[in-house]
Copies of this chain bind each other. A is one copy, B any other.
Amino acid sequence: MSKRSPLVQSVERAVSILKSFSASEPELGVGEISRRVGIPKSTVFRLLATLEEDNLISQDPDTGLYRLGIELLVLANNAMISTDLQRVARPILRHLARDLNETVTLTILDAQDVVNLELFASPERMIMRVGWVGRRMPVHATSSGKAIIAFKTEEEQKNILPSELEGYTPQTVTNHSQLKTDLLQVREKGYAIALEELESGLNALAVPIRNHEGEVIACVSVSGPSHRFTEKYVYEIIPSVLKTSTQLSSELGYRNGF
């Protein structure tokens, strides 16, 4: 959301520096950061020094490279105990994860991606645990993304989806009209399935969660490796996940079934 009041440029720059790191590129130098965010090296250096003072950034003394610091974990921890949705969802999704013995997440739409807010999984099932909470994922290549945007207007969908749908695997839907058809089906059936669309070997099922106004605000997603979480098994657990979503939506004040 664009605020009318002037913003603080130094803070905007500091945040864009924080955002320049990724899970796939956790370590960057001053020059590389300068190039990526378009800020002169001396300015980047000063901003990094400030972030380092508060442990949002740390520097490897051997290589001189910078990385995100653990104070971000602390701030994220403080950020997590937040909404009614999360408080209501936790016991219900924990129960579902125990029943299914697969990875269960609570996922929301944020700008043009979906992001996991909560994760429930057994340690032996957490093969892909790294990165789940806080992980941003493309809307078109995930069951979560489809489960949420299927219930948006066409105008909203157009604003959310990029013009070029990136293909992450051979199974990713990269054709806009095919995606549109898929979204109509999601709307009709009340759930979305993604079979190896985001990553090879990863299957997922997602069901939307509605608030008291009937608006889709999040979804429950179940995922696992395709050798275990087979297409057949995905279909078997649909009733269970639909029921969980209905229970959650109901506790949030939603009064209609599908």
A168 at the interface (CB under 8 A from B): no
A56 at the interface (CB under 8 A from B): yes
Offer 22 A-B interface pairs, CB within 8 angstroms, sorted by A: A1-B52, A3-B52, A3-B53, A5-B49, A8-B47, A11-B14, A12-B50, A12-B54, A15-B54, A23-B80, A26-B78, A26-B79, A55-B111, A67-B82, A68-B75, A68-B82, A70-B115, A72-B72, A74-B135, A77-B135, A98-B123, A121-B123
A227 at the interface (CB under 8 A from B): no
Near B by CB (< 8 A), chain A positions 1-49 give: 1-3, 5-8, 10-12, 14-16, 18-19, 21-23, 26, 45-47, 49
Hey, which bits of chain A sit against chain B, CB under 8 A?
Answer: 1-3, 5-8, 10-12, 14-16, 18-19, 21-23, 26, 45-47, 49-56, 67-70, 72-82, 90, 94, 97-98, 104, 108, 110-111, 115, 117, 120-124, 126, 130-136
Q: Contacts A14-B14, A52-B3, A80-B130: A73 and B122 contacting too (C-beta < 8 A)?
A: no
B134 touches A73 (CB 8 A): yes
Choose one: B74, B78, B132, B135; the contact of A115 (CB below 8 Å).
Answer: B74
B94 touches A126 (CB 8 A): yes
Q: Contacts A11-B51, A50-B12: A134 and B81 contacting too (C-beta < 8 A)?
A: no
Q: Contacts A123-B120, A123-B121: A68 and B78 contacting too (C-beta < 8 A)?
A: yes
A50 touches B80 (CB 8 A): no
Residues on the B chain within 8 Å of A2, using CB: 53
A46 touches B5 (CB 8 A): yes
Q: Contacts A3-B49, A6-B46, A120-B123: A55 and B110 contacting too (C-beta < 8 A)?
A: yes
Q: Contacts A76-B134, A80-B131: A117 and B70 contacting too (C-beta < 8 A)?
A: yes
B7 touches A49 (CB 8 A): yes
Task: Report the minimal beta-carbon distance from A67 to chain B, rounded to whole angstroms.
Answer: 6
CA distance A23 to B76 in the complex (A): 10
Task: Report the minimal beta-carbon distance from A192 to chain B, rounded to whole angstroms.
Answer: 21
A8 touches B12 (CB 8 A): no
Residues on the B chain within 8 Å of A72, using CB: 72, 75-76, 79
Residues on the B chain within 8 Å of A90, using CB: 130
Q: Contacts A46-B7, A51-B11, A52-B3: A123 and B97 contacting too (C-beta < 8 A)?
A: yes
